[in-house]
Structure 1
Amino acid sequence: MGGGDQPLILTDCSLEETENLLSPVVREEQPDPLDVDIFGILTGDSPLRYIGFDQQGCRSSLVYQTPNGSRYWCPDVSSQFKPVVGKIYLSWDEVYKTYETYGEMSGFQIRVAGYKKWKGEITHRVLVCNKAGKPRGKMIDSVNPASMSRARSSCFKFTSCKALIRLRAIKGTTNYVLYEFSENHNHELVSSENMDLTRKGKHLNFDDLHFVHAMSLNRVGATVAHRLQTSLKGGHHNMRGTRNSYKNVSHDIRMFIGERDMQLVLKKLEDRATNLHNFSFEVYHFEGVLQAIFWADDVSKLNYQLFGDVIAFDATYSTNKYNMIFVPFTGVDNHKRCVTFGTGLIHNETVESYCWLLEAFMKIHVKHPRLVLSDQDPAMRIVVPNVFTQSVHRLCMWHIMKKLPSKVSGDLIHNSNLRSRLHKLVWNVYISTATFEEKWHNLMAEYALENHIWLNEMFSIRELWVPCYFCDIPMCCLMKTTSRCESSNSMFKVTSGSTNTLVQFLMCFDTAIDNQRYNQRVVDFKSKSTTCVFKTGLELEVHAAKIYTQTIFKDVQKEIYKCMISCFITNVDVVDNFKVFTVSHMNNRSDFVNHFKVSIHMLEHSYECSCMGFTRVGYLCRHIFCVFRLHQIKNILDRYISNRWRKGSLPSRVYSISQRLSVDNSEVSVLRNEVADCLNECVDHLTFNVDGLSSFNQKMKELKRELVDNFPCSSSSQKKQCLIEHLVGQHDEHIIDLLPPHGIRNKGCGTNRRLVGPGEKAIENSKKNPRMCRSCNQLTFHDSRNCKKKASVGESTSEK
């Protein structure tokens, strides 16, 4: 080495070991005694003896033993695959592939040990067995047992193996000449059955990474994903990677995301706003920390325009690692299925957070809903009327009525007659508001509950939750509770867990929303391509089957059927321009239980029933159908056909592939899927044809060799980085200017044990058998150990 340049050595071994590996190329010295002995073994001039063949599955190796008992393995490989001293290789990639192929046939793995440079150019390279070098770390001192507690309990794979090849670069070209080849190993070689457990065998390709990632988006763990993949591929011998390799995928993805989580989310949303039609999102951050986010795509907007007359929203927790609160806005589509109008993530459940979220909702959707349903959250009660100024706010009945066991104490709550009468009164949609108030006061007086604080409080806000106060609002009976929100939230929580980053949560959300829309597409196709069985033979029923979806048709069919067997016209009056029909409605016991008035405007030919069924649910009631039958009306009038219940309400673009959020529509992904489909079709065509499969296999191997030669692959680390970027997205900037929130503390986080309210405790106690308490001498659900009376007596005694 001259000119003052120092040799640059990069190696996985120590500096001393690398010098020893590379030193013969710059100076002459005596060969290693080990090499002399092995050479003597092969030529027959050494006293060391030949043992025989070591069978390793489908391969074998020659085994020799020295006088001191050491063994050496020489791979028994055909000479055409062995590296040849003096051979010139056109490139480094050719050298690496040749030695790698030889190692796979022999049963060992290779790695680059080091190289030397002269004036910036590589002059020498070395490839060694992966067991070359000495064990790293400190050895355990048997004299000092205390050192065993400090030493890490792990195995090592290095055995100072001397198998290697040395190459010299030909100046001015990319060629290399092989000048030394040592093929003997001081360790047993790997059998063909265990090659899948080597480092290269455990390396996952793109399909494996994509499979693990796709399973994680459906909340399927790495262990289960490995087990599923093993079954799909027909056994472990066809697998790449171990269970730990699958587990490391999630770790690698999270390490790649790191602090760039929010930047990746914003990049995804910005790309969608650019590439997807009518995609919108809003973000609110404070001092570089995310506070809230809301987004909706074109399909959500179309669904809202058609089905957004009634919406419900309810917060849910444990969907991401930052404990941000997930708030989806839910409605009902034309098949009575849950449909999502938009989604938000907020920092906390304050008035300010909900106000920003609802304003973002209005900014994107513009139109006000007719009815907004929520629970009794104080912040929601303030914000909803202030933002949705043209909407009616309604509280969830179920949340209110489930508190009844905990609010009404004593023997009254065990009175089934009180509970049934109260539920029957509250849920009745046919009575007037005056009748409701009268019956409520009578019921409270009968059970001496006039001064009950909670019941009086609920009565004071009766306009917010009792159904009879909403009868004049269109589609008021579409949703009475937030149970659809609970169903929607559970659907999203099936795919997303509390350990997900925000970008992972976004991908999980895409998977869940695509499943929701797939189910919507399935029922829509079924509704258009099949016909229900008719029951009445009326042309009204046939016409209803043509215009309504199957789900709604079954409800309308029931009304038409009931108009024939349960409804009778008992009186007809003419008042001004109205003809009023009195329709008596019988129950199953054939008792006349109710009378309804159907008014017909004779000039405008409009129909109105006192039950207000069309207003409440959007299709005609049995009482009007009874009058239709009397007048032999064969078709439902257009003015009484709500567009939200029609077949094909949504345009066809809603179901196009370009609108599916979890589908990768990039050119490389489309081509990759086409290639995979073509391969699968060929294999499927030749499923049981041995000759055809053999010929196809041979052609595929030839094509594989051609592709490998013509399209060189990047290094494994670079390739893995590219694969992860393809799966979760990439952010080119190195500066992180927006961070996800940290330290969020809400009522849905902080403990794995869910808080149980007094209502649930009362229900659980009702299932238990009461027992006698010796302290208070009562038949209760406690004993003397936790008796409150005994505790109060003890406190009073101690005070004295």
Structure 2
Amino acid sequence: MFNIFQRVQYPPAISLFIFIFTPYLESLSLNMKTKGRTKSLMASPLMATNLSSKFDALNSPIVMNNTTNIEDSNSPLSPINVFAHNLNDYIEVEVNNEHIINDVPIQEEEDIVVSISPNGTKLYTRKVAEHLIPVKGCRFKSFEDGMQTFKSYAEKVGFSVQKGQTKWWKDAITHKYLRCNKAGNPQPKHKFDTLDKGSLKQKRRSRFTTCDCKVHILLNFDEAQNEWVVVTFDEYHNHPLVSSINKDLNKISRKLPFSTKQYIHNMSVNSVGPVKAHRLLVSLMGGVHNVRGTVTDFKNFSQSIRIFIGDRDSQMILERLRERLESLPNFFFDFVVQNGKLRSVFWADEISKLNYEAFGDVLAFDATYQTNKYDMVFVPFTGVDNNKNCVTFGAGLIFDETTESFIWLLECFITAHKKQPVLVLTDQDAAMRQAILEVLPASRHRLCMWHIMKKLPVKISGELLQNTNIRKLLHRLVWNLFISPATFESRWQDLIEMFSLQDHEWLSEMYAIRHRWVPAYFRELPLCCLMKTTSRCESSNSSFKVNSSSANTLVQFMLCYDARLESQRYRQSLAQFKTSDTSFVGITNLVIEKHAFDLYSYTIFLEVQKEITKGLFCCYIANKELVDGVHVYHVSHLDRRNDLTNTFQVKFESETLSTSCSCRGFTRLGYLCRHIFAVYRVNKIEKIPELYISKRWLRNVLPSSIYSLHSRYGVDNQPQSVLRTEILDLMTECCDVLRGDIEGLSTFANQLKDMRQELIKKGYREPEGKDAACSVIEELVGQPIVSEISVANPEGIRNKGTGKRGRIHAPAEKKSKKPRRVRLCHTCNKYVDDHDSRNCKKITAQVQEQENAGP
């Protein structure tokens, strides 16, 4: 049978009568003592007379400031509690299992005590374990210990805590108050005046939670004992307590622990917002009640990181790069400041330099937008590694896309890497073209074919494109890898004449710059087919945008960049592991196949193995002749149906093993073609000649040290972080082992609780306050707060890729858009729809006048 309390309100006269004549009712009292305090209990004849017909048991205790012990073992009634706090008397009546208000039963929680004071105020408390109650006389080694005790009590009872007044005496703190968070009275900003029609207009809605609650504890500092002592403790609230089913929504229970803050931050680094992060954590934790904090709390913390960075953003990013310059070997960065504001920055680490040293023969770069809140243009430099994965050689942020900005960026790139690439691939940006000609004169500049050919439907009329095969013929011509420049020009002229496009402006322009984009003009260039479009570059850029967003600060953007670069290098490490972990399984019986496996990375070996296999099964020697001491083989190439597709000429010198093929496969791709492997098979060549082993495709082209954790700055190698991760792994492993054993899980949980209590006794607790909040963010972003700002954040950037914030609205939406409501600005005293008192231009003008006036 549950015992809850019947709320009964008595007239003040009756309450005063009970209070005065309490000493004379000692024969009916029952004494109950608890740890640290005593409750005096008495039975009320008046209440028994009025209510005995309705209740089985009746209790009415009185607790006064000077506690009186009253006992009566012969009373037929159960005890009643009547409490008196500073002459505010109230009575609580205990019944079996329900509250009755106006004869209507209302089910309540078992442990909540509800009382009625003489003036009709309902007072609430909750029964909790005695050791949790900070009773008068309790001593604490520090104020934080006392505050933690009160907070633990508040969390169990169902309210939140806020700091109150602090009293000083001779420059020393003597008293501190801790109060219920509902202390104080609501302070509405707007009041209604019946004579003022303007005051009747709807104002902004505000939710008030204060109700002048008097619950508090007062801590006094005992200088002699160097301890804090509880002087007063008031436990009765004038508002309902948070129910047990809603305790997770109480403010004190919604405080985010460090682990949750770290989770929110890590999610944001991977472009997962606070709403989705909360939803994922709810799923991981098994329900919303197991997650500390609401979606709003997650949003607020995410915003607090940006606020913490604020105006220090550019200064912090430069300090981070300076730290890496000092701590990481072979790190390089440079920046430009103009008018006290950051304008451009470039950086590249040791792994980027090693990658460029091995794979820097072909380079692509492109501008990427909306990666940071200042609209700085992000420009990563991308290449292809020995497993055909994208690798980043360095990156930069520039203020604009002018020739001067790109010249500075490329000069920084060459300063960091010391050599020019063989081939540079970009889009048709004129500023990039001019910068490449000036800074990279030894490099061949190539335009992206995809950017050019995607304009075909726009540049050529729809009727010609739809009703003819010009698109098919044009694509077949420009993408042909085997024709010579002379052949391309001849076929182009035939195509133009066929469709009478001699005067077509765009086709004429593209033909004039054909040597910059048509593959036939790059057939002599090594690895010319490694990248014909900027698709890899754009794919890499897109992956960086997956992590970052247009709302990120530069510090957050750098964290996102680090995370994406770490993911890229993890894939590189994974590919290297597959290469070293894979055993050889041949398709042919040729020894040269095993030699290729020992040489190349696994990805490239599969390509070479395909060429060896095709050379064995799909190619045959149609003719052989000797020309000037060189063997010339005519190798016929068959398709899947064994139909002849083409015949290629292979020249072979048996003494030097010098070989060349008319398909120029080795020049284009960096490994031998099937036609040469067919000739090697005939001449019983069992190993690939050293002359035709491209170093960039070898399995061990990079030093193994770059795959170690110590070479990555995207990994948190701090000792405390490593130990935290180890502890979490051990706990998870224990939970996994015990997942089906209820007794084992219970024992493990109790052991953890005991360990937690030991830590609390030793004084370990999560720090609080503004300084603690700042230190948490400093730890998360990996950058201490900057006291002096010498470089301001960039402003006023408007580039072609920045675009507009928000989606594009349809015409119907624009027409139906409601006009903004006119509101009164209390600063300029005008009804306006474009500002309010927070951002009034009058305030800006006043601040400007003060700055101009000087001190």
Q: Give the TM-score category using the shorter length.
A: 0.7 to 0.9
> Do the aligned partners of residues 663 and 67 (structure 1) sit closer, same or farther apart at CA in structure 2, a change above 3 Å counting?
same
| The 10-residue stretch of structure 1 (424-433 or 585-594) with the greater mean CA deviation from structure 2 | 585-594
SS at match of 1:200: helix
- Give yes or no for the alignment of 1:319 onto 2:371: yes
Q: For 1:590 and 1:81, locate their aligned partners in 2 and report how far apart those are by CA, in whole Å.
A: 87
User: Does 1:334 find its partner at 2:386?
Assistant: yes
Equivalent in 773, 793, 796 of residue 740 of structure 1: 793
Amino acid at match of 1:50: E
Q: Aligned letter for 1:52?
A: E
Which of 237, 244, 247 is residue 192 of structure 1 equivalent to?
244
Match of 2:112 among 61, 68, 86: 61
Rounded to whole Å, the distance in 2 between the matches of 1:161 and 1:410 is 76
Residues 11-51 of structure 1: per-residue CA shift (max 9 Å, x gap):
xxxxxxxxxxxxxxxxxxxxxxx998999923799995423
Deviations 1:731-784 (A, max 9, x none): 4543211122211111112325899xxxxxxxxxxxxxxxxxxxxxxxxxxxxx
Q: 1:137 to 1:398 in 2, by over 3 A?
A: same
Distance verdict in 2 for CA 1:101–1:436, change over 3 Å: closer
1:722 maps to a residue whose letter is: S
Q: Please state if 1:427 is matched with 2:475.
A: no
Alignment-derived partner of residue 50 in structure 1: 92
| Residues 174-183 or 630-639, more deviating | 174-183
> Where does residue 280 of structure 2 map in the other structure?
228
Contact persistence 1:49–1:66 (CA under 8 A): yes
Task: Return the offset for 1:335.
Answer: 1.2
Q: Is the 8 A contact 2:83 2:89 kept in 1?
A: no
What is the deviation of 1:719?
2.1
Match among 482, 491, 498 for residue 534 of structure 2:
482
Match of 1:125 among 159, 166, 176: 176
Partner SS state of residue 414, structure 1: helix
**Residue 120 of structure 1: CA displacement?**
1.3
Q: Is the 8 A contact 2:778 2:785 kept in 1?
A: no
Assess, with a 3 A threshold, how the Cα gap between structure 1 residues 585 and 99 changes in structure 2: closer, same or farther: closer
In 2, the alpha carbon distance for the partners of 1:656 and 1:430 equals 43
Within 5 Å, give how 1:124-523 maps onto structure 2: 124-138=175-189, 140-141=191-192, 143=194, 146-147=198-199, 149=201, 151-409=203-461, 411-523=463-575
1:222-275 deviations in Å (ceiling 9; x for gaps): 111101111111112211111100011111001001011111111111111222
1:70 is matched with which residue? 121
Bigger shift: residues 34-43 or 465-474:
34-43
Amino acid at match of 1:106: V
**CA–CA distance in structure 2, aligned partners of residues 243 and 510 of structure 1:** 27
Q: Is the 8 A contact 2:64 2:84 kept in 1?
A: no
Q: Which residue of 2 aligns with 1:668?
A: 720
**Can you list the C-alpha shifts for 1:52-78, whole angstroms capped at 9, x where unaligned?**
378999861322224554222243234
Are the counterparts in 2 of residues 86 and 178 from structure 1 also a CA contact under 8 Å? yes
Specify the code of the residue in structure 1 equivalent to 2:94.
G
Structure 1's 436 and 129: CA in aligned 2 closer, same or farther, altered over 3 A? closer
CA displacement 1:312-337 (0-9 Å, x = unmatched): 11111111111111111111111111
- Partner residue in 2 for 1:83: 134
SS at match of 2:445: strand
Superposition pairs for residues 551-570 of structure 1, below 5 Å? 551-570=603-622
Contact 2:315 2:786 survives alignment (8 Å)? no
Of 436-445 and 704-713, more deviation after overlay is shown by 704-713
Q: What is the alpha-carbon distance in structure 1 between the residues aligned to residue 757 and residue 110 of structure 2? A: 22
TM-fit CA distance, 1:393: 0.9
Q: d(CA) in 2 for partners of 1:125 and 1:613?
A: 82
Deviation at 1:410, TM superposition (A): 5.9
2:646 is aligned with 1:646: no
CA deviation map 1:525-566 (0-9, x unaligned): 223222475433322223222322232222222222222333
Taking a change above 3 Å as real, the CA distance of residues 85 and 595 of structure 1, as seen in their structure-2 partners, is: closer
Pick from 148, 161, 178: which aligns with 1:110? 161
Q: Distance in 2 between matches of 1:69 and 1:142?
A: 30
- TM-score, L = length of structure 2: 0.80
Q: Counterpart in 1 of 2:148?
A: 97
Q: Read off the aligned partner of 2:82 and give its amino acid letter.
A: I
Q: Which amino acid aligns with 2:803?
A: G
Structure showing greater relative contact order (alpha-carbon pairs closer than 8 Å, 6 or more residues apart): 1
Amino acid of the residue matched to residue 750 of structure 1?
A: G
CA distance in 2, matches of 1:458, 1:179: 88
Distance 1:390 1:58, change over 3 A: farther
Q: Are 2:802 and 1:749 equivalent residues in the alignment?
A: yes
Q: Output the TM-score relative to the length of structure 1.
A: 0.85
8 Å CA contact 1:359–1:387 kept in 2: the answer is yes
For structure 1, the 5+ residue unaligned runs are 1-33, 756-800
Unaligned runs of 5+ in 2: 1-61, 68-80, 100-106, 809-855
Equivalent residue, structure 1, for 2:782? 729
Secondary structure of the structure 2 residue equivalent to 1:319: coil
| Residues 114 and 125 in structure 2, CA contact (< 8 A), matched pair in contact too | yes
Task: Look up the equivalent residue of 1:111 and give its one-letter code.
Answer: Q
Relative distance call for 1:204 and 1:557 in structure 2 (3 A) is same
Q: Is the 8 A contact 1:51 1:65 kept in 2?
A: no
For residues 389-413 of structure 1, what are the alpha-carbon distances to aligned partners after superposition, in whole Å with 9 as ceiling and x for unaligned?
2111111111122222222336432
| CA deviation after TM superposition for structure 1 residue 309, in Å | 0.7
Whole-Å Cα distance in 2 between the matches of residues 57 and 263 of structure 1?
57
Give 3-state SS (helix, strand or coil) of 2:168's partner: strand
State the SS of the aligned residue for 1:711: coil
| Residues 380 and 395 in structure 2, CA contact (< 8 A), matched pair in contact too | yes
State the one-letter code of the partner of 1:136: Q
CA contact (8 A) 2:88 2:118 kept: no
Per mean C-alpha deviation after superposition, the further-off stretch among 710-719 and 40-49 is 40-49
Name the amino acid aligned to 2:603.
T
1:84 Cα deviation after fit:
3.4
- 1:784 is matched with which residue? none
Partner of 1:769: none
Partner of 2:52: none
Residues 350/168 of structure 1: CA separation in 2 closer, same or farther (3 Å cut): closer
Give the secondary structure class of the aligned counterpart of 1:321. coil
Instruction: Say which SS state the counterpart of residue 236 (structure 2) adopts.
Output: coil
Give secondary structure in 2 for the equivalent of 1:343.
strand
The equivalent position to 1:719 in structure 2, one of 772, 785, 788, is: 772
Given residue 242 of structure 2, which amino acid in structure 1 is its aligned partner? V
3-state SS of 2:179 partner: strand
Q: Which residue of 1 aligns with 2:709?
A: 657
Distance 2:572 2:604 in 1: 14
Question: What corresponds to 2:659 in structure 1?
Answer: 607
Q: 1:134 to 1:637 in 2, by over 3 A?
A: same
Give the Cα separation in 1 of the matches to 2:695 and 2:223.
80
| Structure 1 range deviating more: 398-407 or 471-480 | 398-407
Distance 1:644 1:90 in 2: 66
Deviations 1:335-364 (A, max 9, x none): 111111111111111110110111111000
Cα separation, partners in 2 of 1:79 and 1:320, compared to 1, 3 Å? closer
User: What one-letter code is carried by the residue in structure 2 that aligns with 1:51?
Assistant: V
Name the stretch that deviates more: 603-612 or 62-71: 62-71
Matched ranges for 1:690-705 at <5 A: 690-705=742-757
Q: How many residues align?
A: 722
